[in-house]
Amino acid sequence: MATEILLASRNAHKIAELSAILEPQLPGVTVSGDEGPEPVENGLSFTENALIKARECAKRTGKPAIADDSGLSVAALNGCPGIFSARWAGPARSDRDNLELVLWQISDLADSQRQAEFVCAAAAVIPQPDGSLREIAVLGRWEGSLLREPAGEHGFGYDPIFQPAGYEVSAAQLDPELKNQLSHRRRAFQALLPQLVAELG
């Protein structure tokens, strides 16, 4: 029997990416976007925020739901901007303002002190026959360091200043397909996949 998993997002690129990751491994499963209202993300971690989104979607629809929450973690900033990555420079939510503030905050640091990673929490919430909810959450990490100035035209957010470990270019200079293969989001959902197979397979 066919099963629909709702992704708690309206982002068409994210829906397409996660469909490509999950559907080949879950026969009979389709991943669709959710058009419902966005819940308040008031968790204190990526995992809490991802679960909030997936939980609200599953409760409202009665269908299995998945969600993610992600951001940049800078070692010298004690893990910030973290869950505040999208609004680090203020309410305008400008990608450029956010990354320029991070660069300014670590401008005095040596290259060896500029370690950073992208972190993604992937969550699934699956309604059970007894009315309870089965909740699963995992983390994916993409390690690297921060450049001294933006480079590259691909990607978004902090991609132009993030240099993945093992590469000499920014994430925004990588071929988009390669970037998606390496990304923290793919790593998180690949880690979530075996548990989804066990629950829905």
The mean-pLDDT minimum among 23-27, 59-63, 164-168, 193-197 falls in 23-27
What rounded mean pLDDT belongs to the chain?
A: 93
pLDDT digits (tens, 9 = 90+) for 30-53: 999 998 898 999 999 999 999 999
For position 8, which CATH number holds? 3.90.950.10
Q: What are the φ/ψ torsions at residue 145 (nearest 5 degrees)?
A: -150, 170
Domain total of the chain: 1
Query: What is the SS3 assignment for 138?
Result: strand
What are the residue numbers of the active site?
69
Domain with 85 in it? 3-200
Conformation bin of residue 96: beta by default, left when phi > 0, alpha when psi is -120 to 50: alpha
pLDDT digits (tens, 9 = 90+) for 71-112: 999 999 999 999 999 999 998 879 999 999 999 999 999 999
CA distance linking residue 84 with residue 44, whole number of Å? 10
